[in-house]
Amino acid sequence: MQRIALIGCGRIAPAHLDGLKSLSSRASVVAICDMNEKLRRERQQAYNIPNGFASVAELLEWNKFDIAAVLTPPDVRAEVCVPVLKARKCMLVEKPFSLSLDEARTIVQTAEQAGVVLAVNQNFRWIQPAPILREHILNGKIGKVLSVLLADTVWRDETSGWRNKTAKLALSVMGIHWLDRIRWITGDEGARIYTCSLVSQILTSAGEDITSTVITLRSNAVATLVHHWASHSRGVNNSLQVDGTDGSVIAKRGELIWMGRTVRRSALNLNLGNKMT
């Protein structure tokens, strides 16, 4: 039985706590840590967590856990992660993993030196249509991937908390899921990347909310991500298109459309199942 300690009690914490319930035969949440005493006690009571701590130092002094789930705002990532990793605790970190490359490298190097597992939460890999797309694209259904176009343009105004104040907003908070989706469904990695962004000033949040990113993958395929939080379209045209040498696939509004060079192959309503014939 793995003993889990949650560090950070914010709005994402219930998602982790609810998910861990399904692993009750393998893991148990034994402690929760947050400097906000009121919120910490609320989470403890709601999820029957026996131990609560106000600081990472107190948690480490207690030390009766195996894995830490770090759900803090990203601007305190290193000061939370590094001492816990040095204590040889395995760790799951919420994204954004860090707000700087140097800090991210420090955290990774600390985990390597301690010989522990360090993971970043990328739960959107398991949300459709990503699993189906990955399976069929990697099996060659559309041939060699030439291009990926992912558009996610929504209205999302973060009016409170750290997301309201951070300068790094849309790409680091949600865009990271879409960048990972491109990597995941193609089985490829970025070789070169260019992003331009804008703060629209029509939201109350301070960070960038209009972004366009172009990635050259190692295979030389080109991927484009258009990700907006200040779009009055509110997602009506959101879609994912992958073009290959032998066909294309479009995921849009709960449907997958597969196309060959001359004919449309088939369509799948994602509400009807997860397997394609």
Contact 115, 88 (CB under 8 A): yes
Check pLDDT > 90 for residue 154. Answer: yes
Alpha carbon distance 184, 150 (integer Å): 13
pLDDT of amino acid 272? 41
**Residue 277 located in a structural domain:** no
Residue reference for tokens 């469904």: 185
User: 101-114 vs 77-86: helix axis angle to the nearest 10?
Assistant: 10
Residue 114 shares a structural domain with residue 142: no
pLDDT of amino acid 276? 36
Residue 131 shares a structural domain with residue 102: no
In sequence order, which residues have a C-beta less than 8 Å from that of residue 145 and are 6 or more positions away? 137, 186, 188, 217, 219, 221, 242, 243, 244
Closest C-alpha to 221, from 263, 256, 191: 191
* Dihedral angle sign, alpha carbons of residues 23, 27, 28, 32: negative
Contact 207, 169 (CB under 8 A): yes
Q: pLDDT tens across 1-59, in order?
A: 999 999 999 999 999 999 999 998 999 999 999 999 999 999 999 999 999 999 999 99
Residue 222 shares a structural domain with residue 128: yes
3-state DSSP assignment of residue 6: strand
Q: pLDDT tens across 50-100, in order?
A: 999 999 999 999 999 999 999 999 999 999 999 999 999 999 999 999 999
Residue 47 shares a structural domain with residue 184: no
Specify the DSSP element, H or E, that contains 268: strand 264-269
Segments forming the whole domain that contains residue 80: 2-121
Alpha carbon distance 224, 242 (integer Å): 10
Joined together, the tokens standing for residue 99 give 């707000």
Residue 180 shares a structural domain with residue 85: no
Number of domains into which the chain is organized = 2
